[in-house]
Chain A
Amino acid sequence: MDRNHSTMAKFLFMLLTCTCFCCKQTIEVETSSNLIQQKAVFENEQTAFAALSGLYTRMFALNLSLANGGVTVYAGLSADELENNAGDERYDFFYNNALLTNNSVIETNFWSAAYTCIYHANAIIAGLEDSNALTDVAKQPLIGEAKFIRAFFFFYLVNLFGDVPLTIYTDYRKNSLMARTPSDQVYEQITLDLLEAKHSIAEGYPNGLRGRPNKMAASALLARTYLYRGEWQKAEVEASAVINSALYALEPDLDKVFLSESPEAIWQLARTNANTAEASIFIPSSSSVLPTLSLSDSFIEGFEPGDARKSNWVAVNIFDSTPYYYPYKYKSRTSVPLAENLIMLRLAEQYLIRAEAKAQLDRVAEAIEDINAVRDRARSMETHGTSPLPKIASSLSKTEVMKAIEHERKVELFAEWGHRWFDLKRYNKIDVVLAGQKNGWQPYKALFPIPLAQIQLNPYLLQNIGYDY
């Protein structure tokens, strides 16, 4: 037994030593080479810029997502612009206005794509505001840029879905249970963000290219926001600021409007190593195949004789002896050579915004001048036609001018950013126009449904009226 005791004593002694030796200090590990802590990201301008670059790459990470052709294609199908010829059911749901609440495009390409970018922008804003290392002079333009992007996404969300949760901070505990914010409040925030962006971003483009929004981009989006809100005076001021800026001019050649170097572009999203998602979806692989999506007959018939936009921005494939027209604004289908960037905002729209604002302010003659500025280009391009596109007569009444603006927006801005879909809603014409063209049209379909899966994750998120759940 003695021997046993001494062995045990040794054992216990070692046990104690080991216990003391082990496990009180913290365990240190090397950090991963591709991770940077948030604090470090906003300690210098270079990495803070990189955070913004990351936000832009996120915008085009998914083809046909909100900021990368998605609004153009899906809102175009929902309106009276585009038709679906493909076997792909994804398009049918939009084309037939038969969206179900579990539609994956709605959830992935619109809702998720927008909110992940909004979070990214919020994280940049929070990171910069907390940063002590950067000066205000360095910070403010970057914060302005992030707020611009946030406003851009909320603008589309509120127009596609109606009320949406207004998430402007990064705290998930608050955001996760947020209900839908009334659209008036969302618009207030959009305006606030754009005003701040306009105030803090410089007028010049940082590297000569127009890949990042400048002060004028903020004005341009602000002009559109005021227009949608019926604040005509303010819309006119902002649109004028852009039109009067020396940076832009209407590109006289319709075929060059959508090229990277277009003088008309106010803000472009420059995809790396790829041309636009629009071109790759609209343009068929050869002249003999059926286009996936084509322009509707009613739309094609809407062109006035002599309008060069029909010959230069629309192309046609004859298939089975039927003509199929497709949008041909962007002309580079494949990824090489790089020639076109996605134009987010362009000057022609500002002319039409100003025309509408002026018409609403009863400055009809000035409005007609702005419309004609856009029509002049469409006319001058038509060389072989016998009856050139006429100017708008200066004798028109306000009502007639408003009608002319609606038509002009339809043919100038078709297959771009869902303008037609939003205009139909804005002018309160959606029920009249679509009831005649779409089976089973109902007024509630003017808003997309809130994604079901998201409703199931947030008990406070309620569905748009009319949709099942």
Chain B
Amino acid sequence: MSLYKSCMGHLYALFQTLNVRAKYFSPQLILLLILFNPALAQVNDTTQRLPAIDTANKTNKRSLEDTTFQLQEVEINAGYYKVNNREKTGSISRITAQTIGSQPVSNTLAALQGRVPGLLITQSSGVSGSGFKIQIRGQGSLLQGTDPLILIDGVPLSAGNSALNVVSSAASASNNSGISPLSLINPADIESIEVLRDGDATAIYGSRGANGVILITTRKGNAGNIQAIANIHSGISTITKTMDMLNTRQYLEMRAEALANDDIVSTTVNAPEITVWDSTRYIDFKELLIGGNAAYTDVNLNLQGGSANTQFLIGGNYKRETTVFYGDQAANRGGALASMNHLSPNNKLRVLLMASYTHSKSNLTGEDLTRYINSPPNMLLFDQSGNLNWQEGGVAFPGSLPNPLAASYNEYTGIYRNLISNLTLSYLLAKGLSLKSSFGYNSTSGDEINLNPSTSLNPNTGNLPFSFFGNSQQGSWIIEPQLEYVGQWGKGKLSMLLGTTLQENRYSSLNISAYNYSSDILLGSVAAAGFSYSSNDNSHYSYRALYTRANYNWDGRYIVNVTGRRDGSSRFGSGRQFANFGAIGAAWIITNERFAKNNLPFLSHAKLRGSYGITGNDQIGNYRFLDSWSNTAQSYQGLTGLSPVSLYNPDFAWETNRKFELALEVSMLGDKLSVATTYFNNKSGNQLVNYSLPIQTGFPSVLRNLDATIRNYGWELELESKNIAGKGFSWNSTVNLTVPKNRLTEFPGLSTSPYYNRYIIGQSISTTRNFKSLGVNSETGFYDFLDVNGDGAYTNDDKTILINTDPKFFGGMGHDFSLGNFQLSLFLEFRKQIGFNYLYTQSTNVPGTRYRNQPTIVLERWQTPEDNSSIQRYATSVVSNPLGNYLVESDAIYGDASYIRLKNMSLSYNLPSAVSKKIKVKHMKLFSQGQNILTITNYLGADPENQNLYILPPLRTITCGIQITL
């Protein structure tokens, strides 16, 4: 490990250097990165060719693709059409099966972290199945979601990236989490993922493209003999990082000091931990609650093959993950994938059918146990009969001190099913003209139950056992007939596409809260409840579109791509349902010009491209333009109630998002080094937002258009290099870097709007105003803040410190080594940002508060006058120093949350073909993989990614496995 650490240390130094450069940003940084790249050391050695392909790999087309460096041949899926990577006019990145397969993750989104420029994925919770926040090129909307459109083989995932569950569980600890729909997609079934970012690539998705598009393509069979591939791996997961808490002695000292500081005599009432509880007992709650080892097992079996005209693939998969929590919980997922391709003998009819089904069952605790790691360390957990304990020495635990294990006695079981199927038929009508249609269907359903047996309840509350039941179904179908024409037109190639989309989504859910069970035995039965409340919900969304694309490629030098879409959505009121979107993209392939060929021989490829387009956003929920009332859960004197759903505003309309980008893509030295630099500038206007309102209006917000403009702009850089490409040894590297900026450029009437205090024109929308913290006053021992105008009061005018929590830059760096039959890949994810430190979640629990343990960091608190400390003196409550309450509105709760994470390390060994022949397998591979292995950070808190001490941090997973091809 010390070797790792020293390596990481060097990388961190590099990172710091970059940081300095980033301030001046610009081309210099790119140059710097290029200079750093060892590829330049190989400049003279242009004779080296692609590495020889291991004979053992020849039969396996995928690994052939993966191990070679073939930028020019790669066909990129742009959704409605495919485009040669070198001829694309838009911004599209591709992640392949190899990258995904080397990562032991259960959610595909985790495998994308740090891999794609402009794509920021943040894991909010480490609980199995929980969600991720996705942002493509910044936050363009003040308050609406930033979720991109997610399509699987052209079928929109009907739940998108929003949580599936209707009942809460350990997975729903933070705003962005809940059970993620993407957790129902088996990462091993994915052939490639394309991320569409700019106007040119996304405008064809019209209203749904404003936040970018993620296209997931599943595996297909290849022609050849039937091949069976088995891939089995298992390992363990532990938490990445959290904080050490005080032990019993330290805790009791803290409490005693706090009482002394506040001149309070400890009694059984105000300090039972000292006066009543056993002071020799010590429980390390961090270890007990979240310190476990989670087992991870993943099995994938595939059978594929076929003739030149017909190929098939069938596969099955199973995954089991237990949790790091106290108790026995596990998430199980099983699934199947089948796909079939057929091309008629006359080469006119093409059929493609795929179906994927996943069944998952999650047993989780009712709550994220991480929120209890600050329980007092000498708390008595069990009584003499082994039941959960709720008192000691006759002093009952108050409502604010639950037994931390109670949540593990609450059992959440969620069963989710997901079916995706797609049929694509295409027929060649005439030369160059084909008619094509896809028919897609996606259905997701969930059955959930959360049981709260008497064993988990505090008897002092008098609450009887209760249960929550949830049931939800959502389905969507999509039909997309298209006409495609490809032909020569003059000196160039013309491709045209015209299509229409018919799409319907339906959602329904049923939610039952059942209370007052007389016993725990019947908790699973609704009928056995003393009483219950139920509610249901259903909605229908209909969507129609007409879209077109025309692409003209003049002599491989000039390419123009025009896309357009007319969209109609049922989410808008009559007269506002339709809107037009479109984009134009152009590319100039410089290296195909005669002058470049003659004068710039070291360039193997150079392209300048740009695009401008308009996309929209209709992520607003259904029926919002209606003046609706709905049933209340409870009734009054036997009569059910009705309640207004929202404030009435029928006049909202489409928002528009204008995207501009300019990029230069260069490959040189026989493709040894490829660099792509992109500048993007997106402007979102006429924003459709949940406009915040003071509650005196009856609701906290109203859906309306807002005349504010947000600009997201910045640079993206991608670099790929073949540093060494020898016969026995090769080394390839990739680097990607994004330097994003967010600015609120216009907001008419800001000063008289509900946002007068929240947003600042010319600043990022993540920027907040804060008091200036003066640290701990060395006389009083309490936190002190700067009264800027000296008026003796802390008001908004004193909030002069602006803090921007947007990442300054982020990205990833990967290295793939190959030595003989060994392959090693390393991937680092890095992020430079300011975030909430641990004080954010500690704010009202000042060190010394009754029943609240503290991180060991508080040992450095202020004790006597003249002490210089960053931690205020121990106090029994925030009441003893009301100023402490301003802490959460000061700059003290922010800190450096930058990190470099060894996101992935994967080592594999291919058995020599001689050996595999002996044991009668075609090919065999042994491998070990690790995720989130090491994190280097100065962050003051738990994990710098989810930035919350009381939510489970991302997990570190290490596995070993074997892949056998028969």
Contacts and interface: CB of A to CB of B under 8 A. Distances in A.
B398 A292 contact: yes
Given A22-B566, A457-B754, A336 B516 contact: yes
A100 interface: yes
A7 B487 contact: yes
A273 B545 CA distance: 50
Given A37-B626, A122-B698, A87 B401 contact: yes
Q: 10 nearest interchain CB pairs? A: A119-B698, A54-B641, A285-B460, A53-B641, A469-B795, A334-B462, A53-B636, A54-B643, A457-B754, A38-B627
Contacts of A207: 637
A138 interface: no
Contacts of B401: 87
Interface stretch (B85-93, B178-186, B535-543): B535-543
Interface stretch (A173-181, A350-358, A361-369): A173-181
B309 interface: no
A285 B882 CA distance: 33
A300 B301 CA distance: 76
B12 to A, nearest CB: 38
Given A29-B540, A209-B637, A336-B530, A167 B696 contact: yes
7 contacts: A23-B546, A27-B570, A38-B628, A50-B639, A111-B695, A459-B751, A469-B793
Contacts of B267: 320
Given A3-B431, A10-B433, A34-B631, A54 B696 contact: no
A227 B582 CA distance: 68
Contact of B698 (A3, A170, A177, A270): A170
A11 B849 CA distance: 76
A35 B628 contact: yes
B433 A11 contact: yes
Interface string A12-37: 00110011011100111111111111
A175 B699 CA distance: 11
A273 B533 CA distance: 10
A57 B641 contact: yes
B882 A456 contact: no
A27 B543 CA distance: 8
Contact of A458 (B568, B569, B754): B754
A343 B578 CA distance: 54
Contacts of A18: 498, 500, 546
Given A27-B544, A335-B530, 6 more contacts: A7-B487, A29-B570, A51-B629, A53-B642, A285-B462, A288-B394
B620 interface: no
B175 interface: no
Interface in B358-399: 391, 394-396, 398-399
Contact of B632 (A19, A54, A273): A54
B636 A34 contact: no
B574 interface: yes
A461 B752 CA distance: 11
Contact of B626 (A23, A35, A49, A177): A35
Contacts of A10: 430, 433
A271 B415 CA distance: 34
Interface stretch (B13-21, B644-652, B833-841): B644-652
B877 to A, nearest CB: 6
A39 B627 contact: yes
Contacts of A57: 632-636, 641, 643
A319 interface: yes
Contacts of B515: 273, 335
Contact of A120 (B500, B516, B577, B644): B644
A335 B642 contact: no
A367 B536 CA distance: 56
Interface stretch (A91-99, A191-199, A217-225, A409-417): A91-99
Residue of A34, A54, A57, A334 contacting most chain B CB atoms (<10 Å): A54
Given A89-B844, A289-B460, A335-B516, A272 B629 contact: no
A468 B696 contact: no
B850 A87 contact: yes
A469 B642 contact: no
B851 interface: yes
Contact of B693 (A39, A56, A176): A176
Contact of B643 (A58, A100, A469): A58
A116 interface: yes
B548 interface: yes
Interface in B689-728: 692-699, 702
Nearest to A466: B793
Contact of A457 (B485, B641, B693): B693
Nearest to A90: B400
Contacts of B568: 23, 27
B692 to A, nearest CB: 6
A320 B695 contact: no
Interface string B538-582: 111111111010000000000000000010111000100110000
A185 interface: no
B794 interface: yes
B687 to A, nearest CB: 17
A2 interface: no
B642 A119 contact: no
B343 to A, nearest CB: 21
Interface of A: 3-4, 7-8, 10-11, 14-15, 18-19, 21-23, 26-39, 41, 47, 49-58, 61, 85-89, 92-93, 96, 98, 100, 102, 111-112, 115-116, 118-120, 122-123, 165, 167, 170, 172, 175-178, 207, 209, 211-212, 270, 272-273, 280, 284-286, 288-290, 292, 319-320, 333-336, 454, 456-459, 461, 468-469
A219 B498 CA distance: 72
Given A86-B399, A123-B698, A28 B754 contact: no
A86 B877 CA distance: 13
Given A58-B643, A285-B462, A336-B530, A38 B648 contact: yes
B396 A289 contact: yes
Contacts of A461: 694, 696
A172 B702 contact: yes
B599 interface: no
A33 to B, nearest CB: 6
A205 B652 CA distance: 44
A39 to B, nearest CB: 7
Residue of A29, A86, A212, A333 contacting most chain B CB atoms (<10 Å): A29
A41 B648 CA distance: 15
A449 B500 CA distance: 58
A111 B542 CA distance: 39
A38 B648 CA distance: 10
Interface string B460-501: 111110000000000000000001010111000000101010
Given A4-B489, A7-B487, A27 B640 contact: no
Given A26-B577, A38-B629, A41-B642, A7 B433 contact: yes
A4 B885 CA distance: 75
B38 interface: no
B756 interface: yes
A433 to B, nearest CB: 21
A22 B850 CA distance: 67
B878 interface: yes
Given A8-B485, A270-B637, A285-B460, A172 B699 contact: yes
Given A89-B877, A92-B879, A333-B462, A454 B566 contact: no
B840 to A, nearest CB: 14
Contacts of A112: 695
Nearest to A59: B636
Nearest to A6: B430
A119 B697 contact: yes
A340 to B, nearest CB: 14
Nearest to A36: B629
A52 B752 CA distance: 34
A111 B256 CA distance: 37
A115 B394 CA distance: 42
B758 interface: yes
Interface in B205-249: none
